[in-house]
Amino acid sequence: MSTDPAARAVVFDLDDTLLDQSSAADAAVIAWASELGLEHVDVAGTWSRISSRHYTRYQSREITFEDQRRERVREFLGRSFTDDEASRTFRGYLDRYESGWRLFPDAIPAARRARAAGRPVVILTNGDRTQQLRKLDRFALSGEIDALVCSSELPFGKPHASAFLAATRELGFSEVDSLMVGDSVANDYQGAVDFGMRAILIDRAGEHLHRAIASVASLDDIAF
């Protein structure tokens, strides 16, 4: 069981750390593509790669949140949609994606353990605040945390230092007193370490066992 008794506050990522968004995204795009008559060999993988590329552009503020959705649709379908057409088409995916959100069973217990140990909890997410609040409301997460910090309200998202600074300021602790828990090696783990925070990678699929980094297979394995 991984533990870091020196940490006085905990920062959790949201998507694919507390909430299984990847499964929701995969199922949504497969159903959506089938409805549109697409026959990609790897629909989910293609959509994931396209989404990651354009979402990274949004995180660096090269494009807006709505623009990254439009660009994903245009590239995935290979069509020159107008902005309105692209936004309307994206709804076919989005409705399915949102209906597929599921909370990991270890999410709320982990937040409760941290707070019971006297460690305040903040969620730091690279998502849009409006959408992320819907996730918190659906799964009653707001009452399990002390604050929510979204990149949509910041100059840059993770792994930029300004994102971690915003989270630690929200908690009222310095970086050396805070622990980051997330699923992304680059955005969550390395970004936090570079900022001066402790970090634990949640590696549910065991994809990073070969790396010399602190990781766990479940949030149940973290003793706050």
pLDDT tens profile 107-138: 999 999 999 999 999 999 999 999 999 999 99
pTM of the predicted model as reported, rounded to 2 decimal places: 0.91
Given the candidates 3.40.50.970, 3.40.50.1000, 3.10.20.30, 1.10.645.10, the CATH classification of the domain at 2-20+102-223 is 3.40.50.1000
Q: For residue 208, what pLDDT is reported?
A: 83
pLDDT tens digit string along 186-217? 999 999 999 999 999 999 988 887 778 999 99
Residue type, 121: V
Render 85-121 in DSSP notation, one character per residue.
HHHHHHHHHHHHHHHT--B-TTHHHHHHHHHHTT--E
| Tokens matching residue 100 | 């597929």
Q: Please report the pLDDT score of residue 59 as a whole number.
A: 85
- Mean pLDDT value of segment 6-22: 94
- Per-residue pLDDT of 57-106, as tens digits, reads 998 889 999 999 999 999 999 999 999 999 999 999 999 999 999 999 99
pLDDT at res. 4? 56
